[in-house]
Structure 1
Amino acid sequence: MAKEDISFHGCRETPVFIFFKDARSIFKMDELGLEIMRIALPAALALTADPIASLVDTAFIGQIGPVELAAVGVSIALFNQVSRIAIFPLVSITTSFVAEEDTITKVIPESEDCESLENELSLDNENKMLIPENDSDKTPSKSELLANSFEVANIKHEKRHIPSASSALIIGGILGIIQAAFLISAAKPLLNFMGVKSDSPMLFPAQEYLTLRSLGAPAVLLSLAMQGVFRGFKDTKTPLYATVAGDLTNIILDPIFMFVFHLGVRGAAIAHVLSQYLISLILFWRLAEQVALLPPSPKYLQFGRFLKNGFLLLMRVIAVTFCVTLAASMAARRGPTQMAAFQVCLQVWLATSLLADGLAVAGQVINHSVQLLCQNPQEMQPTARSAVEG
C-alpha cells in the first residue's frame, strides 16, 4: 500500500500533471482573467486590423492585374522585413520598460469608493498637508474632505514622467528616417536580390510602390513605438481606435487614388502612407495628454538600456521574418502569377495568425507589474494581488 501511495505521489509531481492540474482555471472569470481579457482583446484586434486592411489593399490591387499584385507583394515583403528588424525589439522593450516605470511612479493607490477615499484623506500624512495649519485641531468636515479629494484627483491626472516613452519615440523616429533613406536609395538592388530582375515586368511597379511606401517608414516606426508605450500603460484600446481609424482611411482612399485618379499602385502606396501618418498623429496627440514627452535633461534618456536589450531580440526577429522574406523571394523567381498567389495567401495567413499576440501583450504587462508590486504588498492592486496569490 505504501508503494502505491509513493508511486501515485510521484505521478502527481510529474511535469505533465503540473501542466494540467490547473487547466480548469483557464475559463475562470476572476479579476485576473477579466484584466487579461481587457488588455488582450483590444491588442489582438489592433494587431489583426492592419493585415485585414492589407488584405483589402490586395483585393483592390488585384483588380489592376496579376503583375501589379505580384510587384506589390514583393515590395511589401521587403518593407516588412526591414521594418520588423528595426521596430519589433523596440516595441517589446518599450512595453516592458514603460510598465516598470509606470508601476514605480504610482505612489497614490486608486480608491475603490468615496468612503475609502475619505478615510485615506483623514489618515494619510500627505493628504493632511492639504488642510491649513490653523485648523489642524478641528475635525475636517465632509466638504473639506471632498475638496481635498478633488485636489488629489488633479495630482493623479498630472502628466507622467516616463523616460522610456521619450527614448522610444526618439529611437523610433531615427530608425524610421534611416529605413526610409535606405529603402529609397537601394530599392532596385534590393528588388533584384528578391528575384525581380531587370527584365521582369514586375520591376517598375515594384520599385515605384516601394519608393512611395518607404516615405511612410518614420510614421510606421513612430506609431509602433507609441503602441508599445500604451501597452505598458495597460491601454490597448487607444492603439485599437487609432489603427482602425487609419485603416478605414486607407480603405476609403485606395479606390479614389487608384481608380478615380488613375494612379494605380502609386495610389495604393500614397493611401497607405497617409493612413500611417494619421495613426501616428492620433497616438501622439493622446500620448502627449498623458506623458511629459520632453525630459528635464538628456541624461534621463535610456538609449544604452534600449540598445543593449534590443540587440538580444534582434536575432530572433531576423530568424522569424527571414522565412517569410525567403518564401516571397522564391515565389517572385517563379513569375508574376505565382507571386500574386503567394501575396493573397500571405495576407490571409497574417490576418489570422496574430490573434495569440494579444495574450502575449497582456502577459508581458501584467508580469512586470506583479514583479514590482509584490515588493510592496500594501500598494498592490486587486488584480496584481490575485495574480500573486494564484
Structure 2
Amino acid sequence: MAEKDTFSGNNRRMPLFIFFKDVRSVFKLDELGLEIATIALPAALALTADPIASLVDTAFIGQIGPVELAAVGVSIALFNQVSRIAIFPLVSVTTSFVAEEDAITRASADSKDSEMENGTTLDSENKMLIPQKDLDEKMYNLESTNNSFEIAKAEQGKKQIASASSALIIGGILGLIQAVFLILAAKPLLSFMGVKSDSQMSYPAQQYLKLRSLGAPAVLLSLAMQGVFRGFKDTKTPLYATVVGDSANIILDPIFMFVFKLGVRGAAIAHVISQYLIAVILFWRLKEQVDLMPPSLKYLQFGRFLKNGFLLLTRVIAVTFCVTLAASMAARLGSTQMAAFQVCLQVWLATSLLADGLAVAGQAILASAFARKDYGWATATASRVLQLGLVLGLCLAIVLGFGLHFGARIFTKDEDVLRLIGVGIPFVAATQPINALAFVFDGVNFGASDFAYSAYSMVTVAIFSIIVLFILSSSNGFVGIWIALTIYMSLRAFAGFWRIGTGTGPWKFLNS
C-alpha cells in the first residue's frame, strides 16, 4: 500500500495537471493498472455483448428486407432509450453506493481485527481513517460501526449491503412499469418516432416492440444486479451471465425467425428469453454472496437512493431525448435513411461502449477511494482511466474507419442503404475518441458521487444540442443529423473536462 502514497503530495500542482499525470505509465501494469484491467476488461465485454446481440438481430432481420430492418431499428432505438431512463440511474447509483458500503465495511472489519489482534484500542490518528460522521452517512445511520459489521457478517458469512436489496426492489418495480407502458403506448410512441399508422414499418415495428417489452422486468433486474457486482469490483460474473444469455439469443434468432417463420416476432421472442436467462444466472450468483432480506424497510434507505437517482434520471432523460430525437428525424427522412442510420448508430454505440468498461472501473475504484478519503489514489485513478480512454478512442477510430467500409454488407445488401452507410462511416469513426472520453468522464464523476453536476451540465448540453439538431437536420438531412450528434458528444466530453480541470465540487482537493 506504500505505492499509493506516491500519488499525492507534490504531484498536485494544479487541477489541470491531472490529465497529464504519469502519462508515461498509462500502460503500466502496476497495482492500479492491474485493478483497472481486472474490472474494465470483463465490464467492457459484458457491456458490448448486448449491442452485439442487437447487431446480430439487425443482421438477421436485414435478410428479410429493408422495411423490416428500418421498423426494428426504430423499435430497438425506442426500447433502448426508454430503458436507459430507468437503467442508467439505477445502475450508476447502485455501483457507487455498493462500492462505498463495501469499502467502509471492509475498513471497519480491518480496524476491528487489528484491535482484537493487538488487544488494544486504535489510537486517535488511526480512528480518523474513517470519521464517525462519514460512517453514519455511508452506513445509513446505523447505530455503530460494530453493529454495521455484525450485520454485514450475518447469515453464514453473507454480506448484507443495503443498496443491493434496494436496487432489486426498485429494479423489479421499474421493470414492470416499463413493460406495461411500452405495450400500451407502442403505437403513439412509434408515431412520435416518425412511424405513422399508414407506414409500411408500423405493423412490424409494433410487433417487435410489444413482444420485446415483455423482457423489460428481466432487463431492469439484471442491470440492477450488475450494478451490485460492479460495486464489489466483480465484473466477471456479469460477463459470464451476459455471454450465456446473448449466446442463447444468437442461437434462437434463426430458429424462431426462419425455421418457425415468425420473422421479426421471432427476433423479439429470442431476445426476451435471453434476458430472463441472464437475470436468473445473476440472481443465483448474487444470492450466494449477499443476504438480500433486509432487517427492516428503514435499513433500505430508499430516500437516499431516490434523491440521487432522480438527479441521474434528469440527466438520462436529457441524453435519451437527444438520441431519440435524432433517430426520429432519421425515420422521417424515409425507410432507407432510417435503415442506414440504424446500422451506423448500433455500431457507434456498440464500439463506444467499450470505453464504458473503463468508466465502470473508474467509478468503482473512485467510490472506494473517496469513501476512504484516499485522494491520492483517486487522483491517480482518474488520470489513468482518462488517458486509457483517449488511447482506446483513437484505436477504435482507426479500426472503424477502415473496417466498416468492408463490413457494411453484413447488415444489408440494399445498395441505397449501403451508400448512406458509407456517408455515416466518417462520423462514426471520427467521434470515437470524443465518445470514449465522454463516457469515462461520466464514470469518474459518478465515482466521486458528483450526481448533481452530472445532471445539470447534461441538461445544458442537451438544450443546446437539440437546437443544433433541428437546424442541421432540416438543412443537411442525414449528414446534418450526424454533425449534430458529433457536436452533442463533444459538449458532453467538455462538461466532464471542465469539472475536474477547474478543481471544483468533489475535486476541490486538487487545488490544495
TM-score in terms of structure 2 length: 0.62
Residue 123 (structure 1) shift: 3.7
Deviation by residue 1:250-309 (Cα, 9 ceiling, x = unmatched): 000000000000000000000000000000000000000000111111111121111100
SS of structure 2 residue aligned to 1:365 = helix
Aligned to 1:281: 280
Aligned to 2:161: 162
Q: Confirm or deny: 8 A CA contact 2:21 2:380 kept in the other structure.
A: no
Structure showing greater relative contact order (alpha-carbon pairs closer than 8 Å, 6 or more residues apart) = 1
> Is 2:71 the counterpart of 1:76?
no
> Is 2:221 the counterpart of 1:242?
no
Q: Distance in 2 between matches of 1:96 and 1:183?
A: 29
Amino acid at match of 1:240: L
Q: Distance in 2 between matches of 1:303 and 1:108?
A: 25
Aligned to 1:34: 34
Aligned to 1:227: 226
Residue 210 (structure 1) shift: 0.5
Residue 78 (structure 1) shift: 0.8
Residue 13 (structure 1) shift: 5.9
Amino acid at match of 1:202: M
Deviation by residue 1:225-250 (Cα, 9 ceiling, x = unmatched): 10000000000000011111111000
Check 1:356–1:121 CA distance in 2 against 1; reply closer, same or farther (3 A cut): same
Aligned to 1:52: 52
Alignment of 1:287-366 (within 5 A): 287-366=286-365
Amino acid at match of 1:266: R
Q: Distance in 2 between matches of 1:103 and 1:14?
A: 28
Check 1:13–1:167 CA distance in 2 against 1; reply closer, same or farther (3 A cut): closer
Aligned to 1:85: 85
Amino acid at match of 2:292: L
Check 1:293–1:17 CA distance in 2 against 1; reply closer, same or farther (3 A cut): closer
Q: Distance in 1 between matches of 2:30 and 2:75?
A: 46
Deviation by residue 1:60-118 (Cα, 9 ceiling, x = unmatched): 011111111111011111111111011101110000111111122224449xxxxxx9x
Q: Distance in 1 between matches of 2:354 and 2:37?
A: 13
Check 1:16–1:173 CA distance in 2 against 1; reply closer, same or farther (3 A cut): closer
Check 1:294–1:211 CA distance in 2 against 1; reply closer, same or farther (3 A cut): same
Aligned to 2:266: 267
SS of structure 2 residue aligned to 1:295 = coil
Aligned to 2:211: 212
Aligned to 2:67: 67
Check 1:201–1:285 CA distance in 2 against 1; reply closer, same or farther (3 A cut): same
Larger radius of gyration between Structure 1 and Structure 2: 1
Aligned to 1:20: 20
Q: Confirm or deny: 8 A CA contact 1:370 1:387 kept in the other structure.
A: no
Q: Confirm or deny: 8 A CA contact 2:74 2:331 kept in the other structure.
A: yes
How large is the RMSD of aligned CA atoms in angstroms?
Answer: 2.8
SS of structure 2 residue aligned to 1:250 = helix
Alignment of 1:87-126 (within 5 A): 87-106=87-106, 107-109=108-110, 123=117
Residue 193 (structure 1) shift: 1.0
Residue 27 (structure 1) shift: 2.2
Residue 18 (structure 1) shift: 6.2
Check 1:177–1:38 CA distance in 2 against 1; reply closer, same or farther (3 A cut): same
Amino acid at match of 2:336: T
Q: Distance in 2 between matches of 1:373 and 1:48?
A: 31
Aligned to 1:132: none
Aligned to 1:7: none
Q: Distance in 2 between matches of 1:368 and 1:235?
A: 14
Check 1:371–1:66 CA distance in 2 against 1; reply closer, same or farther (3 A cut): same
Instruction: Quote the sequence identity (%).
Output: 79
Amino acid at match of 1:277: Y
Amino acid at match of 2:178: Q
Residue 365 (structure 1) shift: 1.0
Residue 317 (structure 1) shift: 1.3
Q: Confirm or deny: 8 A CA contact 2:362 2:381 kept in the other structure.
A: no
Aligned to 1:140: none
SS of structure 2 residue aligned to 1:64 = coil
Check 1:255–1:352 CA distance in 2 against 1; reply closer, same or farther (3 A cut): same
Deviation by residue 1:130-158 (Cα, 9 ceiling, x = unmatched): xxxxxxxxxxxxxxxxxxxxxxxx99971
Q: Distance in 1 between matches of 2:70 and 2:381?
A: 48
Check 1:199–1:18 CA distance in 2 against 1; reply closer, same or farther (3 A cut): closer
Check 1:341–1:289 CA distance in 2 against 1; reply closer, same or farther (3 A cut): same
Aligned to 1:189: 188
Check 1:386–1:80 CA distance in 2 against 1; reply closer, same or farther (3 A cut): closer
Q: Distance in 2 between matches of 1:102 and 1:219?
A: 26
Deviation by residue 1:317-348 (Cα, 9 ceiling, x = unmatched): 12222222112111211222221111111111
Residue 20 (structure 1) shift: 2.8
Deviation by residue 1:20-74 (Cα, 9 ceiling, x = unmatched): 3521122222111111111111111111111111111100011111111111011
Check 1:207–1:162 CA distance in 2 against 1; reply closer, same or farther (3 A cut): same
Check 1:23–1:59 CA distance in 2 against 1; reply closer, same or farther (3 A cut): same
Instruction: Give the number of equivalent residue pairs.
Output: 337
